[in-house]
Amino acid sequence: MNVKIENLTKVFPGMDRKSAGVTAVDDFTLDIPDGKLVCLLGPSGCGKSTLLYMICGLESPTSGKIFFGEDDVTDVPPEKRRVGLVFQNYALYPHLTVKQIIKFPLENVKGDARLSKEEMDKRALEVAKLVQIENLMDRKPGQMSGGQQQRVAIARALVKMPNVLLMDEPLSNLDARLRLQTREEIRRIQRETGITTIFVTHDQEEAMSISDMIIVMKDGLLNQIGKPQEVYDDPDNLFVACFLGTPKVNVFKGFVKGGGLFIGDDKQSERILDVKGVDDREVWIGIRPEGFKVDKDGKLTCDLSGVDVMGRDISVVCRNSNAEEVIRAIISAENEVDRDAKTVKFNVKPHKTYIFDKETEERIRFT
Ligand code: ADP
Ligand code: MG
């Protein structure tokens, strides 16, 4: 089922009359397509959970609307929205068995929609198989690993066949290895069920690897929506460029003059790239680590401070005299970089080089 959000805003009131409120989600409009896995990505406190809880009905919006398919669900209570919810801490009832925990949402259904005992058992076993815990049905939460407990929580969220599956940082409590494994599992389960899934995370790598679409948020504001690779390759602003990618994009103060791009504010600095169509101005320059090409006639000269061969790639740490920041470049190991050289020269790849307005930090596109 597709989820549509129109001008959704949530303002939490201040503690008392004097303190201002917090705008946790600020005028969000977006369309989440049916059957996709979408990540809400942003730093802690940017409003991800608040947005998720409005979608499931646990928080009511200050203004704006939420649609599931054609239905306006803005005022529909959570239990009637048919959403499955998975939290960071699994919150499983410690005294129940896995089977009882998974069946619990079905047991709570009253009236005509209530399933027979046999049907409940059958349904519980189906979802247990889906998340691969069917051999743990008689265990209690205390007798399982964190990864297994999170699978139980996912099974519980799926047992009522929700329209939408909502997950709030579901992997944060798992150790690194389990986190990787469980995220692959979530991807598989989502593909197999085709349930529209909204996955909240602050971890850009997790979001990049798992999602069909990412929604990057900052301070309650929607910054960019797109396929992970598109957002990485074509960020709309400096924040998005910096938030996605490890090692981070290299950021420099710089300026455009006469259709050329220069690092620093020294008018003697090297013209590193042609940027047609951009007026003379001060800018932020972002260059992805993979955006440097070693070239003996390169336009960017740097003092070499470290060369690290990492198998397929070489990591080069260096410094340009016009920039305060250290440059971290990743180049293919097919290149030869002389470790003992004092300097290294680069050219920069235009499609890996971004420029941003100095004040608004919005992207300035060039040809
Ligand atoms: P995230 O999940 O991205 O870390 P949240 O949605 O939890 O962010 O919070 C967004 C902002 O709203 C934060 O500034 C947070 O302090 C504030 N906030 C969240 N819940 C409440 C609440 N119940 N009352 C007041 N402020 C809240
Ligand atoms: Mg949160």
pLDDT score, position 16: 79
**Would you state the pLDDT for residue 146?**
87
Which pLDDT value is given to residue 92? Answer: 85
Q: Which residues sit opposite 330 in a β-bridge?
A: 315
Distance CA 223, CA 228 (A): 13
Rg (C-alpha) for the chain, rounded Å, is: 25
**pLDDT confidence of residue 87:** 87
Q: What is the pLDDT of residue 336?
A: 80
Contact assessment for residue 356 and residue 365, using Cβ atoms and an 8 Å cutoff: no
Instruction: Name the residue among 237, 233, 197 with its Cα closest to residue 217.
Output: 237
Alpha-helical (H) ranges within the chain are: 48-56, 98-107, 117-130, 146-158, 176-193, 204-210, 228-233, 238-243
Atom 11 in ligand 1: residue holding the nearest Cα: 24
pLDDT digits (tens, 9 = 90+) for 267-309: 677 899 999 999 999 999 999 999 999 999 999 999 999 999 8
Is 201's C-beta closer than 6 angstroms to any atom of ligand 1?
no
Q: Which ligand has the nearest atom to the CA of 168?
A: 2
Contact between 363 and 354 under an 8 Å Cβ cutoff? The reply is yes
Phi, psi of 19, rounded to the nearest 5 degrees: -85, 140
**Domains of the chain, CATH where assigned:** 3-243 (3.40.50.300), 250-364 (no CATH)
Which helix (H) or strand (E) segment holds residue 356: the answer is: strand 353-357
The DSSP code for 174 is: S
Low-confidence residues in the chain, pLDDT < 50: none
**Nearest to 327, CA basis, from 338, 337, 317, 342:** 317
* Whether the Cβ atoms of residue 346 and residue 300 lie closer than 8 Å to each other: yes
Q: Mind listing the pLDDT tens digit for each residue in 76-133?
A: 999 899 999 998 887 788 999 999 999 999 998 888 889 999 999 999 999 999 999 9
* Ligand 1, pocket-test mutation among 11, 16, 22, most atoms within 8 A of CB: 22
| Full-model pTM | 0.93
Q: How many residues does the chain have?
A: 367
The residue type found at 94 is P
- Closest ligand 1 atom to the C-alpha of 53? 6
Q: Which of 335, 340, 300 is nearest to 319 (CA)?
A: 300
> Does residue 12's CB lie within 6 angstroms of at least one atom of ligand 1?
yes
Cis bond before residue 350 (omega within 30° of 0) = no
- Quick one: pLDDT at residue 162? 94
- As given in the structure block, the two tokens for residue 261 are 């791009």
